Amino acid sequence: MQASRLDRSPVATWWWTIDRWFLAAFLSLMGLGIVLSFAASPAVAERIGLGSFHFATRQIVFMVPALFALLSVSFLDARQIRRLAIVMLGISLLLMVAVLYIGVEVKGARRWVSIAGLSVQPSEFLKPAFVIICAWLFAEHQRQPDIPGNLFAMILLGLVLALLVAQPDFGQTLLVLGTWGVMFFMAGLPWLWIIVLGSLGVAGGFAAYTMFPHVAGRIDRFITGEGDTFQVDMGREAVINGGWFGVGPGEGTVKRIIPDSHADFVFAVAGEEFGIVLCFLIMGLFAFVVLRGLNTALKEHDDFTRYAVAGLVVNFGFQSVINMGVNLQLMPAKGMTLPFISYGGSSLIAIAIAMGMVLALTRKRPEKRTQLAFARRAARAVAAE
């Protein structure tokens, strides 16, 4: 039963003020995540001796708190979003320090910490909180220039990047740095800072290439095509073999030979079994979220809301581009989930919180409706004269 516009209950008010296009896009991606989990994960589970639907069942279990987080956060106002981000940032930073000492080591990296028997990746929850706090700092500097908001945002960026490099996680490092750069540019970044930060970025990339063998190896393999490129080669071939409409659900072969087909390479499974048409649909949903978010942000008069919404959707878009780019062999190999679709509890819940923030910040606020009504009355009064 649809809520009446005369109903002033919290749920009814939420329904009439929420951006339902955003909501539909997020729910569609979550639904695709469940479908593709059933398509991609059984072969992986069987290969390591688990039940066929082990990962698919866990994905559904993770989807419940993710959906709850998405909807719950969307009820908050801007001040409550900032408070939530402060709490998330503080806890995430503490856990990222703890990860370096007590974290679970996987393939030479410490990115997960075990809490109550569950593996949690703190960096996933750090990202939305980092975006919100930086947006707040940039906005405060715009509102009152004597507040060193930009400086504090730089210090926070340096702290976060240092913790990510220490894990090491260069994919997340680039993701955070790129998102921060877009937000700083929107906040009126002077050209001098663009040159300085761009130079530091190039220097940092060169340092990572020379100091970390696994980074150099991935870049070299991408450029030369030599070495162990099995997973990315198989991912690209799977999409090519799928053609326009795929080989059919359950008929794909890539999921039987790629270890991470249910996580980092779920896009390749989608391409092989359901075809390029589904791949275009998935890309279209991500593009829709990013473009609608940026369009909404550009129309926003409140600095904090503008920077926060833009930062959240840009981060969302960058992450999806990296994942799909790796699957199509357009970028060096990097383990990064496809938002809402890849298997992974931390990623799924953290992304749901981030997009819940987008829903909350883009809701139609009463003051906007009041201003619009006043403008319309004034226009009618002028016309009558």
> Among 41-50, 109-118, 182-191, which stretch is predicted with the lowest mean pLDDT?
109-118
For the chain, give the percent of residues with pLDDT over 70: 87
DSSP letters spanning 8-40: -SHHHHHHHHS-HHHHHHHHHHHHHHHHHHHHH
Tell me what pLDDT residue 2 has. Answer: 55
Q: Which is higher by pLDDT, 128 or 51? A: 128
DSSP letters spanning 50-100: --TTHHHHHHHHHHHHHHHHHHHHTT--HHHHHHHHHHHHHHHHHHHHHHH
Cα separation, 302 vs 128, whole angstroms? 19
Tell me: the pLDDT tens digits for 63-78? 999 999 999 999 999 9
In the chain the first and final C-alpha atoms are separated, in Å, by 45
- Between 345-361 and 20-47, two packed helices, what is the crossing angle to 10 degrees? 180
- Is the distance from CB of 273 to CB of 251 less than 8 angstroms? yes
Tell me the average pLDDT of the chain. 84
Query: What's the distance, CA 311 to chain centroid?
Result: 10
H/E stretch holding 141 reads helix 122-143
- Residue closest to 36 by CA, chosen among 349, 326, 287, 271: 271
- Residue closest to 328 by CA, chosen among 287, 289, 282: 282
- What strands, in cross-sheet order, belong to the sheet with 118-120? 104-106, 109-115, 118-120
> Among 163-172, 216-225, 232-241, 312-321, which stretch is predicted with the lowest mean pLDDT?
216-225
Q: What is the CA radius of gyration of the chain?
A: 22
Residues 31-35: what's their mean pLDDT?
A: 92
Query: What's the distance, CA 17 to chain centroid?
Result: 24
Cα separation, 66 vs 84, whole angstroms? 16
- Is the distance from CB of 156 to CB of 126 less than 8 angstroms? no
Domain regions of the chain by residue span: 17-363
Checking 49-55 for CB contacts under 8 A at 24+ apart, the result is 55/262, 55/343
Tell me: the pLDDT tens digits for 261-288? 788 888 888 888 899 999 999 999 999 9
Tell me what pLDDT residue 374 has. Answer: 46
